[in-house]
Chain A
Amino acid sequence: MADSIKIRATLKGDVCTVKALIKHPMETGQRKDKKTGQLIPAHFIQEVTCSHNGKNVLDASWGAAISANPYLSIEFSGAKKDDKVELSWVDNTGKKDAAEAAIG
């Protein structure tokens, strides 16, 4: 769990900046395998959610046009040091992952 996500949450005043890097191929389904000539099946993250102490901050729907190994930065207010930030994703094959960070 959480191997695919690197997440950092930093505080400025009461505004928290969440930055995350996710390891994922984000295959569009349009690319051909160079060796076999076959289309590489679409494989991309469709849903990303972020919460603060269990409360929803953001949920996103992504298409395959998000770059491979996606990067995401968002901000929210009402944050305190050591609060919990959780980020999770689900891809089109049903695979998912989640990671948690304490605001530093």
Chain B
Amino acid sequence: MNVSPTTWLKRASWALPVVLAVASTAHAAPGQLPEEVFDGLVETSPHKNYLSQSQQNRMMMPDNPAWYVVEDGEKLFNEPRGPKNVPMSKCDFGKGPGVLDGAYVELPRYFADTGKVMDLDSRLEHCMKTLQGYTDADPAVKQKNGSNSDVMKLQAYIASKSGGYAWNPPMEHPLEKAMRNAGEVMFYRRSSVMDFACATCHSQPDKRIRASYLPSITVPEEWTKAISWPAYRVGHDNVRSSQHRLTGCFWQMRYPHAKNGSDATIALLSFWTDAARGQPAILPDMKR
């Protein structure tokens, strides 16, 4: 069971984080609201600086504007679309056509029909093209970013059906393992003009950039928050995806531009999702 976009309003609470003691464990709890998952993580995490640094964002979680994007996505998901007039509910996101509950926390995964390890973004694009008949030139496929893009709306909806589920990317297929391991190498290898790696900022707890605490991949309770995309970025006033976050990290490290959906990005996603294994996903999240 999962929280429908309309339930969130009814269950929304205005309590401040300081007086909150709702969830007592960070164990996976499918159907928990994002703020409930988050409060549980704050309680169980051995490191709290990153998680609890923004009372402001915590206060805004119950009425996260991302919920409206989720709702738009639900409509798009169920209506027949594209030149072939097929609904996205015919697409297999790993657990069978139309099965979304817990599907996103098991991505990236190997798909036999393409012979590739795919993340949500690439799988969605694949289905928009093969099932619905869109091409690369269609705005529905081309426009990847922003709360108004179809891709972002669909991703927000699909991911919201994994809220509270524990990250559990499969590692049975050799390619799934290979991608994860490639991602690990990329995460730790310093490159480019600044000699930076992802690990430079994200491998020790309580590191900061100016006033902001950064999440460490060594602390799964905070790492799940770091990778819980789609999330509403307050500063951007838009919902953003994992791929958008990766592009941002590449830019900040002064790496060459990361091509959306490339194997490099999916490898990193495989590694970072594996690092949050067992921790509940906060979907949709709200970030600074």
B68's partner among A6, A12, A17, A68 (CB-CB below 8 A) is A6
A interface residues, tally (CB under 8 Å): 12
Q: Are A71 and B237 in contact (CB under 8 A)?
A: no
Known contacts A19-B63, A71-B63; decide if A10 and B10 are in contact (CB<8 Å): yes
Q: Complex formed: what's the CA distance from A79 to B10 in Å?
A: 15
If over half of A's interface residues share one DSSP class (helix, strand or loop), that class is named, otherwise mixed; here it is strand
Task: Give bound CA distance, A10 to B10, whole Å.
Answer: 6
Check B114 for interface membership: any CB of A closer than 8 A. Answer: no
Evaluate contact between B65 and A8: CB separation under 8 angstroms. Answer: no
- Tell which of A17, A19, A68, A69 has the most Cβ of chain B within 10 Å: A19
Is A73 close to B, CB under 8 A? yes
Q: Which of A47-104 contact B (CB under 8 A)?
A: 68-69, 71, 73, 104
Total A-B Cβ pairs within 8 A: 21
Please report the C-alpha to C-alpha distance between residue A12 and residue B68 in the assembled complex, in whole angstroms: 21
Whether, in the assembled complex, B22 has its beta carbon less than 8 Å from a beta carbon of chain A, the answer is no
Given A68-B237, A69-B237, does the pair A17, B9 have CB atoms closer than 8 Å? yes
Which chain B residues numbered 1 to 40 have a C-beta less than 8 Å away from chain A? 6, 9-10, 12
A residues 1-24 touching B (CB-CB < 8 Å): 6, 8, 10, 12, 17, 19, 21
Instruction: List the A side residues contacting B6 at CB < 8 Å.
Output: 8, 10, 104
Residue of B nearest to A68 (CB): B237
Candidates A10, A68, A69, A71; contact of B9 at CB < 8 Å? A10
A12 and B9 alpha carbons, distance in the complex (Å): 11
Whether B9 lies near A19 (C-beta < 8 A) is yes
Closest Cβ of chain B to A75, distance in Å, is 11
Residues of A with C-beta under 8 A to B68: 6, 21
Q: In the complex the two chains form, what is the Cα distance from A69 to B65 in whole Å?
A: 10
1/0 contact string of B114-126 vs chain A (CB within 8 Å):
0000000000000
13 CB-based A-B contacts, threshold 8 Å: A6-B68, A8-B6, A8-B9, A10-B10, A12-B10, A17-B9, A17-B12, A19-B9, A19-B63, A21-B68, A71-B63, A73-B63, A104-B6
